[in-house]
Structure 1
């Protein structure tokens, strides 16, 4: 038998393999989006459902509202960390709703009496209108369309963290729990931390501080000192561990662990510790 005849079956198999069609890429769908308008700007409200949402049509879910939640903002990080937490049992799974911001200082901060801040951020000051839109438009839309369990949590960082604390102070019943990571409490001469709290018990509040220092730090200390003894809160002090730029992705898993706890008893073994350097209410 000649060498060419011997190799013929191999060439035929290779030709047949090369003739097979290439696999066709398919769209990867991770959620849904709705475009709404507020403060004169259209914005996306992005909804990511738990992986088994469709498997059990009777099951209802918590909802986590993430500020700065556009695809080009923090949405994908928030979804990834929420899913990673749920995979380990660190926190319960949930529907995540990412709310896009367009002009963060305008939408997330109240008016300021600080001339320097007013000059740097001339559009700032409409957080009340943005909050009313969330309360009256965005949140009711989510509750009407998706199977929620009646609990809702608001999370945000920096200016969005200030919005979280302001909402917790002014309209506490809007959400079941709150997480403010490195909130910008220096805003308006630390005015938010100077507001009287009274004895009203509000929903659980997760707070954290990174390396911000200065009036951000003094505003946080004032707020912590004013919290009533019966107020459930967790303060994670990361001034020596984290920078402002690393606080959100460093602490969102911990914030979710506080707001959406599970009965998992193996978390400490894997270093998934809920670090409350100061705490109150049931934890205090």
Structure 2
């Protein structure tokens, strides 16, 4: 009897079985080939996508958007923005890069750059792949509202500016965070954007200095007052390594405004040291 009582007490004190963990799904992925390499196109759907079957959404295309690249940070900051009403909710499409200089930069006449990055120079082909494969794939499968935005940092920022200059109609708005405008002796900053108003362009500069800074200043000088753009000057506050996670929320705020009137009260002031449009 005593043994049975002790055994029953021990069983009563035993910890309950741990619940079985379940997969945590944040999105979907498609594997596609471009520029000689397979890569992932990752899709993170917005809050309420499944619950609102008749609603359509803008799409933000994030370059360097692989799972081991900027996808998690980008999707998290977009979700954080949405919670605060800082920017409108959107479908996030992360485009994985494999050889960034090859895929994101045009050819260079700089001998040192060619030696250091011998594969660089196929940004035009990568852009054609995004236009001809990635965008149709997303538009056929997901409920988009017809507006798409392109976001990138560093070399991807150069790709954003180059796309804005050479194929402005591909996206409804662009954000280039600390773009590598030093590339090819600042050649991109010397390409005048041409006549006519182009989609809104968000630009930022951190502590890069040198040719990156002079390239940015030259680019800004080419923008007519009628062109909608926002230049966020963070040379005294941010470093190149902190620019993307520091400024992606502001870039989304500029491209996808919500119109709420309390953002300044929460410190979400859109800083445009220079702006147009």
TM-score bucket (shorter structure): over 0.9
CA 1:252–1:15 in structure 2 vs 1: closer, same or farther (change >3 Å)? same
| 8 Å Cα contact 1:82-1:256 kept in structure 2 | yes
1:264 is displaced (CA, Å) by 1.5
Change (3 A) 1:16 1:114: same
Report the count of equivalent residues. Answer: 276
The correspondence for 1:127, drawn from 123, 137, 152, is 123
Query: What is the distance in 2 between the residues matched to 1:270 and 1:210?
Result: 23
DSSP-derived class of the 2:21 partner: coil
Q: Is the 8 A contact 2:232 2:271 kept in 1?
A: yes
Which string of whole-angstrom CA distances, capped at 9 and with x for unpartnered residues, describes residues 193-247 of structure 1?
0012222210000000000001100000000000012100000000000000000
1:184 aligned partner: 180
Aligned mates of 1:13, 1:168 — CA distance in 2: 73
In the alignment, the residues of structure 2 paired with residue 178 and residue 70 of structure 1 have an alpha-carbon distance, to the nearest angstrom, of: 20
User: Whole-Å Cα distance in 2 between the matches of residues 9 and 263 of structure 1?
Assistant: 68
| Contact 1:64–1:152 under 8 Å retained in 2 | yes
* 1:199–1:228 CA contact under 8 A, matched in 2: no
Distance 2:266 2:238 in 1: 20
1:218 alignment partner in structure 2: 214
| Equivalent residue for 1:136, pick from 132, 135, 142 | 132
CA distance in 2, matches of 1:117, 1:261: 38
- Cα shift at 1:10: 9.5
Give 1:82's aligned residue.
Answer: 78
Report the TM-score, using the length of structure 1 for normalisation: 0.94
Q: Is the 8 A contact 1:210 1:247 kept in 2?
A: yes
Secondary structure at the counterpart of residue 220 of structure 1: helix
Give the root-mean-square deviation of aligned CA atoms.
Answer: 1.6
1:151: which partner in 2?
Answer: 147
Aligned position for 2:274? 278
What is the correspondence of 1:223-242 to structure 2 with a 5 Å cutoff?
Answer: 223-242=219-238
Structure 2: gaps spanning 5 or more residues: none
- Residue in structure 2 matching 1:246, options 239, 242, 245: 242
Structure 1: which 5+ residue stretches go unaligned?
none
Indicate conservation of the 8 Å contact 2:47/2:89, yes or no: no
Partner of residue 103, structure 1: 99
What is the alpha-carbon distance in structure 1 between the residues aligned to residue 218 and residue 112 of structure 2? Answer: 22
| 3-state secondary structure, aligned to 2:221 | helix
Q: Aligned partners of 2:124, 2:224: CA distance in 1, in Å?
A: 25
What's the counterpart of residue 40 of structure 1?
Answer: 36
What is the deviation of 1:20?
A: 3.6
* 1:48–1:95 CA contact under 8 A, matched in 2: yes
Q: TM-score, normalised by structure 2?
A: 0.96
| SS of aligned partner of 1:83 | helix
Q: Which has the larger radius of gyration?
A: 1
- Return the offset for 1:51: 2.6
Deviation at 1:12, TM superposition (A): 3.8
User: Which of 255, 260, 263 is matched with 2:259 structurally?
Assistant: 263
Q: Tell me how far 1:263 sits from its aligned partner.
A: 1.8
- Secondary structure of the 2:14 match is helix
One of 35, 40, 60 as aligned partner of 1:64:
60
Aligned to 1:197: 193
